[in-house]
Amino acid sequence: MDNELIKGTLSLIILSLLSRRAMYGYEIVATVKEETDGVLEWKAGSLYPSLHKLEKDGMIRGEWQGEPDTRQRKYYHVTKAGRAALGEKKESWSQLTTAIAQLMGKSK
Amino acid sequence: MNDIDRYLDQACRQVNGPDSLRAHLRKELKEHLEEAIDALVAEGMSASDATAKAIEDLGDPEIIRDGMESVYSPGVTSLFVDKAIKWRDRKWHIAAQMGLGLIIASAIGSAMSMMIFVTPVLVVMHEHVGLDVPAVMIATIGLSNMVWKYYWIGLLLLIGGWGLFEWKCRSENKAHIRTATGVGLALLSVLAALWVMVAIGVSFALLGKAAPPRKPIPISQTPVQYGDHYYQVFHRDEGIEWNDAKTQCESLGGYLVIINDAGENAFLTSIGAGNSSFHLGASDAESEGDWRWVDGSPLTYQNWDKGEPTDGRTENYLRAFSAQWPQWSSERSRAKGFLCEWDRLPESNGVQ
């Protein structure tokens, strides 16, 4: 799938997944790949700037977990503001896909 | 540096913000890569292939850098501030490199000046004028010879080492190591410069105290009798090793001079032993500190100068020095001539 298209929806994907439970970066990538049968597979490097952007905007909050001498993972949680933003983004996404579907239907 | 570190360097360097942010991002990306590698290895992939695949999946490090830049410098003001910080970093980076280069050059320059100008003066004063140069400065004569000997190898190693450092070292550590190296070299340069100044000062002070050169005594071209033995001084402008001098005396039917008493010592003065720098017939080369005449007998009569014989593995040969004679000194193997002794008048010597 076109990476540019995915990039535009990254924040929606991230917030959707994190609204289920806290996840760390690799887990987000692996979950997306598994649950979409590999359709939504992107260069994971672009995930981290998105995570930092969402964290900076207060949508999510990261927290390192694990003992210092074991593997440490940064788990991200959705904040209250993030849940509100997710609702808006879902609404926008729904309108967008409907509109695009209508356009594509007419162009057939 | 392994592939992961190299990738992380490329992804995290120049990300705006404090060091802690870069460290944080690095840790997070490293964690991601390790998770991915573990998963790929569990699927049966080799460690090296898994590493390559995990890095490929994470994507171009440029994307991460650009993405982070858009996160941490979104505003116009921030943009200007970030640009200013980058400009300042670049400027200081160049200045730091130039400073480091200057420090290295001054360190090498100090060492070179020590070797070229100061050490030879010390050698001359010690070996030819015979002054009692402080031991710490005498030590630099050996150091100087060693440095000269290995100078080019050392320079190649320095350049090679620096190249390897630039190639291998992680960028986060480079700045710290460069700073530490610069400070260390600067301190060494200051110490070397101080040493040179002190050495030059001491040299001039000692030269002022140097005794006027004694008037040389004409050297006989034939053996001269003292008691029932015969003696002759052989001068070698080009210099001669102690062992070669010993061999030459033996080839003439004699031996390097053995001094048995003060009278004999005084007689040698009269034939020119104090004119220059001549080998005498004793050494402790075989056993440090155990001085023996060439016939194997110990030194029953001794007339060492103050501070002689010098301890150490290099000054193993008895010498008649113009500035110290009639006292003896221990020196290195090369001198300007030697004194031979015969038990009976030699028929001929063909080595004048």
- What contacts B147, CB < 8 A, 6 or more positions away? B111, B115, B154
Which pair of structure tokens corresponds to residue B161? 């080492």
Structural domain ending residue among the three candidates B45, B72, B99: B72
B121 and B201 co-located in one domain: yes
The pLDDT score that the predictor gives to residue B86 is 58
B317 shares its domain with B234 = yes
Q: How many domains does chain B have?
A: 3
Q: Which of B72, B99, B123 is the last residue of a domain?
A: B72
Alpha helices in chain B (DSSP H): 3-12, 19-42, 47-58, 61-72, 76-113, 119-123, 135-168, 171-209, 242-251, 262-270
Closest CA to A44 of B47, B70, B37: B37
Residue B281 lies in a domain: yes
**Confidence at residue B289, expressed as pLDDT on a 0 to 100 scale:** 84
Under 8 Å between Cβ of B24 and B11: no
- Give the mean pLDDT of A85-104: 89
Tell me, what's the pLDDT at A27? Answer: 92
Rounded to a whole number, what is the distance in Å from the CA of B34 to chain A's nearest CA?
A: 9
pLDDT at res. B186: 77
pLDDT at B265: 93
Measured between CA atoms, the residue of chain A closest to residue B33 is A26
Q: Are residues B51 and B112 in the same domain?
A: no
What is the per-residue pLDDT for B258? Answer: 95
Q: Tell me, yes or no, whether B82 lies in a domain.
A: no
Quick one: CA torsion of B169, B173, B178, B181, rounded to 10 degrees?
A: -90
How far apart (Å, rounded) are the C-alpha atoms in residues B222 and B236?
Answer: 16
Say whether both B196 and B295 belong to one domain: no
Chain B partners within 8 Å of A49 (Cβ): 64, 66-68, 70-71
| Residue B39 and residue B149 in one domain | no
Does the beta-carbon distance from B25 to A73 stay under 8 Å?
Answer: no
**Are B131 and B198 in a shared domain?**
yes
Q: Which residues of chain B have pLDDT under 50?
A: 74-75, 77-78, 172, 350-352
Q: Which CATH number do you get for residue B290?
A: 3.10.100.10
Is B110 part of any domain?
A: yes
Kindly report the nearest CA distance between residue B17 and chain A, in angstroms.
Answer: 13
The CA distance from A78 to A15, in Å, is 7
**Which of A44, A49, A74 is facing B70, going by the closest CB pair?**
A49
Q: What is the pLDDT of residue B67?
A: 82
Which residue has tokens 């004119």? B275
Same domain, B201 and B101: yes
Which of B19, B42, B72 marks a domain boundary? Answer: B72
Q: Can you say whether residue B238 is alpha, beta or left, with left for phi > 0 and alpha for psi between -120 and 50 degrees?
A: alpha
Helix axes A3-20, A47-56, angle to 10 degrees: 50
Beta strand pairing call for B317-321 and B229-241:
unpaired
Q: Hey, is A73 helix, strand or coil?
A: strand
- Residue with the bigger pLDDT between A85 and B325: it is A85
Task: Please indicate, yes or no, if residue B85 is contained in any of the structural domains.
Answer: no
Answer yes or no: do B109 and B196 share one domain: yes
pLDDT tens digits, residue range A31-74? 988 888 877 777 788 889 899 889 988 999 988 888 777 788 89
**Residue B18: cis peptide before it, omega within 30 degrees of 0:** no
Domains of chain A and CATH, by start: 3-106 (1.10.10.10)
Closest alpha carbon to A24 in A53, A58, A60, A59:
A60
State what percent of residues in chain A have pLDDT above 90.
Answer: 34
Look at residue B351 and tell me if it is in a domain.
no
Is there a domain that residue B46 lies in? yes
Domain interval for residue B39:
3-72
CB B346 within 8 A of CB B254: yes
Q: Are B114 and B144 in contact (CB under 8 A)?
A: yes
Which of A24, A27, A44 lies at the smallest CB-CB distance from B58? A44
Whether residues B199 and B99 fall in one domain: yes
Q: Specify if B216 maps to a domain.
A: no
Residue B214, pLDDT score: 62
Q: Is residue B349 part of a domain?
A: no
Residues with Cβ within 8 Å of residue B87, at least 6 apart in sequence: none
Q: What pLDDT, on a 0 to 100 scale, did the predictor assign at position A16?
A: 94
- Please tell me whether residues B112 and B162 are part of one structural domain: yes
Do B61 and B94 reside in the same domain of the chain? no
Per-residue tokens: B18: 């404090």
Residue A45: which of B39, B63, B72 has the nearest Cβ? B63
Q: Could B31 and A25 be called an inter-chain contact, meaning their C-beta atoms sit closer than 8 Å?
A: yes
Please tell me whether residues B322 and B242 are part of one structural domain: yes
